[in-house]
Structure 1
Amino acid sequence: MKDILRPIYQERASQSNTLGVLMVEKRHKSSHTTDTFDVILLIIVKDGEQPLLIKHYTYNDNKAAMHIITEGLLKEWLLLGTNRKIFEWLYHAKILFDRNEYIANLKTELREFPFNGRKIKMGLEFAKLIRRYVDGKALFENKQFLDAYNYVVHSLHHLARLAVIENGLHPELTVWQQVKQIEPEIVKLYEELVNSEEPIEKRLELLFLASEFMIHSRTKVGCAHLLDVLGTKEYWTFNEIQNEEELIPYSVDLAVLIEYLNEKGLIDVVSLDTKGHGIFHRCYQVSKKLS
């Protein structure tokens, strides 16, 4: 198979812009890892006219896809988890070309999962968890039980991913299989929500109580990255927070997370005068209790 595809990737490998070429083969018939293709050629380049270029090929009744991705997009996927298959591709791929051991070093970094990388990923996952939990609870209180159910399922998924990251692993496509070994209590919560014969209102009520404890116990580790960044200044406007380079990945979940941490006493509100009488700028600082 490698010989048949060689002309496709060899030209790319010879270009100085190419950092590495990997081949991911479909491991068994029902595998979803390669998006129904028999083989994926993953080509990582330093930069490109577009972050992602995909080409499809046919050979001997087989299908192949070539994904050319920039280093910047790859790092974004690895940080934000927006393409979870990339982890499996990097883990299981055969290295066909590796410039200056770029791929080998990348795989080592993924395997060792440095603490700072974990801290950022836990922060992003915690922010998503809080957003789904808060929105789900609001829907529940408005008796929109089916919509609340959907949000709670998502919040449990983020809780599961957070537990996996906290234990030094990258969440994979089979995250529930991973978390079953690490923290079966989260799996039990999920199963009770999905399989219980109780009315949906009762299921949600019990789950909000149980998950509140689990979220509370993870709050400090989940917000450590955000608090570290906010601790570098005396206080911040919200605009400064959302435009801070390290915090941009928190995106739409940031406002809800800030409010949640204010409620929990981890972030204080600082009121500054404006030109208008009786109206103040609302700024934020790490709680004095934590210093």
Structure 2
Amino acid sequence: MEHVHTYIENIAKCEDVLSVLAITQPEQNGLFADGAHRIYLVISDRPGANWSTNYFVFAGCPIVEHRFSRWQIERWAMHGLDEQMARLFASARIVHDDGDYMKRKREQLLKLPSHLQKLQICKEYSLFLRFFTEAKELFRKGHILDCFLSLQQSLRRWARLVAYEMNEYPDHSVWMQIKQFDSAVYKLYEELVIGNEPLAKRIELLMIPIEVGLLAKLEPSSQYIIDILGTRNKPWLLSELFRLPQIDGSGIELHLLLDKMVKRSLVQEIILSGAGDYSEKAYLLSD
């Protein structure tokens, strides 16, 4: 362990280094470890690259060092982290902290900004809807094993949705996390995978409570889309919505979600006619 303390002491001497965080179980963060025995996160107050990575061996110990600028940390604190980066900072231990910078910032980093929380809730709900819709169709056709896989995925998306509702990033072990937050959703998953009934019967029994949960979550989970539709009084063309920066690349199953919102009278669907036989769907918030 002496070489570890030497490394920390050496790097802490640099005037531009604000904080150093250490991860001693890098196998839990394989994407960032790349075979190293230790991961260090170094926060620097020096102008330069916002994020750089160095691989080296210090006193016989393979180390990967991720350096982040203070500007990058401030940006993440304002706009939010992705899940993998959130897990990285959550699992790291502060070993040097000039002025308690990271002690103050880490709590902010691991808290979801409201706009990101709404986006992730909407995304997870739309995927919950997609996989449940698939499961219903597969069950109707008698494809039980395929239905089981889709239903399992729908419950996983529900679990991730619950985590985001609790203003938490979903863990790798999301079911252990959800067991604490929502025991009812956990029990549905438990009944699906280890219930005593034959598989087809288990699926049949679970379809109704899962669909009830799906419908109950529709309006609050669609708030991200409702907010976008409410930014103007005239209808939004479907093609316009898909091109919006807030939607493009978001992972939201927009078409499927809008269809469900129309059926539940949250949104009005309008068919706008164009030149010739061309027509396009448009959407407007219901009164």
Same fold (TM over 0.5): yes
Structure 2 partner of 1:243: 243
2:41 partner amino acid:
L
* 3-state SS of 1:248 partner: coil
Cα distance, 1:184 vs. partner? Answer: 0.4
Equivalent residue, structure 1, for 2:21:
23
Greater Cα offset, 66-75 or 245-254: 66-75
**Cα gap change, 1:39 to 1:140, in 2 (>3 Å):** same
- Please tell me the residue identity of whatever aligns with 1:87: A
Q: 1:148 to 1:250 in 2, by over 3 A?
A: farther
Q: Deviations over 1:29-76 (max 9, x none)?
A: xx842336432123578885xx9765544445543223457949968x
Map of 1:149-188 to 2, 5 A cutoff?
Answer: 149-188=148-187
Aligned twin of 2:106 = 107
Aligned length: 274
Secondary structure of the 1:245 match is: coil
Residues 80 and 134 of structure 1, relative CA distance in 2, 3 Å threshold = farther
Secondary structure, counterpart of 1:118 in structure 2: helix
Deviation of 1:175 after TM superposition, in Å, equals 2.1
Unaligned runs of 5+ in 1: none
Call closer, same or farther: CA 1:212–1:246 in 2, change over 3 Å.
same
CA spacing shift, 1:66–1:137, aligned 2, 3 Å: farther
Between the aligned partners of 1:98 and 1:127, the Cα distance in structure 2 is 41
Q: Which residue of 1 aligns with 2:201?
A: 202
* Per-residue Cα deviation, 1:163-217 (whole angstroms, up to 9, x for no partner): 1222233322232222112210111101111002323222222222111111111
Normalised to the residue count of structure 1, the TM-score between the two structures is 0.77
Q: Which protein is bigger by CA-based radius of gyration?
A: 2
Q: Aligned partners of 2:179, 2:270: CA distance in 1, in Å?
A: 42
Matches of 1:10 and 1:135, distance apart in 2: 57
Give TM-score, length-normalised by structure 2.
0.78
Q: Is the 8 A contact 1:26 1:37 kept in 2?
A: no
Q: Tell which deviates more after alignment, 210-219 or 246-255.
A: 246-255
The one-letter code matched in structure 1 to 2:260 is Y
Ranges in structure 2 where 5+ consecutive residues have no aligned partner:
none
User: Please, what is the CA RMSD of the aligned residues?
Assistant: 3.5
Q: Secondary structure at the match of 2:275?
A: coil
Residues 10 and 179 (structure 1 numbering): CA distance in 2 closer, same or farther, change over 3 Å? same
8 Å Cα contact 1:163/1:182 also seen in 2: yes
